[in-house]
Structure 1
Amino acid sequence: MDHASDWAAVIVAACALGISIWQGFVARTHARRSVRPHLVWCENKEKTEQGVGVTFSVSNYGIGPAVIRDRYFELSGARYASADTEGDLVEELVRQLLGDKFAHRLLVHGLPGMKSAIPQGGSQVIASIFFPEGNDSTVKTLRHHLESVVFVVEYSSIYGEKFTFRTD
């Protein structure tokens, strides 16, 4: 065997190694780009003979889970903080915003847990409010009362890419 064929084998092996490393990089970049959660705000109104129900939720329409890093409300531009550290943030906010202005019942409420995940295609109900004897004008007035509220979710993909979702 001559030295030329030895060097040719080394060059071919080095090229194959380089191409394999490049393919790995391309595959990793593609995986990061294709596994990206995307949160959206959903509002569902249901009218019955007894009244009107409105449900607010956040859903993941992306690919892959949305890992929750932080979630909070802003009221008139400032982060809303509970007066009672043991209290329920959603319940307190609804009480403050709606109070006695409307007859209402908070049926379901909650926030996604810290470090939990909203799976691909999954959703989390933030608040489901029922207005007995409510109608379309009740819902319009409700939306007006909620204009000063922004719901914020800071989340990441399984690869650690950080995103922020805001309802404003």
Structure 2
Amino acid sequence: MALASTGCGGDEGESDIPTAASGGATTRSAGSDAQGGGDDVAAYVRAQRAYVKCLRENGVDAPDPDDKGTIDFGDNRALKKDAKFQAATEKCADLLAAVPESIEKDNQSKLTDEQIKVKQRYAKCMQENGAADFPDPGPDGLGQGDWDQSSAGAKRAIRICGPIVGVPESAGPGKG
């Protein structure tokens, strides 16, 4: 959650995305094709603005999200201990939206050829060991699509194939 935020300007490329502070002022369009996101990014930004508005209505001084919906909360450790912040995030949780795939891909660092080979080996292992619907990675090594993680076959495949990506076969008890 701790990513940079930018100010909101309403100059030449205005859209109907309201800021959380104004409740109706317009900002630069977050969904333009030039930014590579399309409608899913615009919808995500609108959802993030509604979330910030809710936080503010519940006593949290939250900054506006940037043009990709990122909200910079600063020092997360201090916020996690803040009872007012915790209460507000619980009240506003239903307004949180999933990050669009286009934004997630932009935020991921480029994989090396070796890392891509590992992802391909993992996908093949998953498919051969009970998760037939596990997606093949794209040319960049990143996943492409959803799969059913709840089936017995998928759980077995995760156990068998986990070591390929560094997940131990049987995780020990957690500390804490």
Asked if TM exceeds 0.5, the reply is no
TM-score using structure 2 length = 0.27
The structure richer in strand per residue is 1
Q: Which one has more relative contact order, counting CA pairs under 8 Å at least 6 apart? A: 1
TM-score using structure 1 length = 0.28
Computing the radius of gyration over CA atoms, which structure comes out larger, 1 or 2?
1
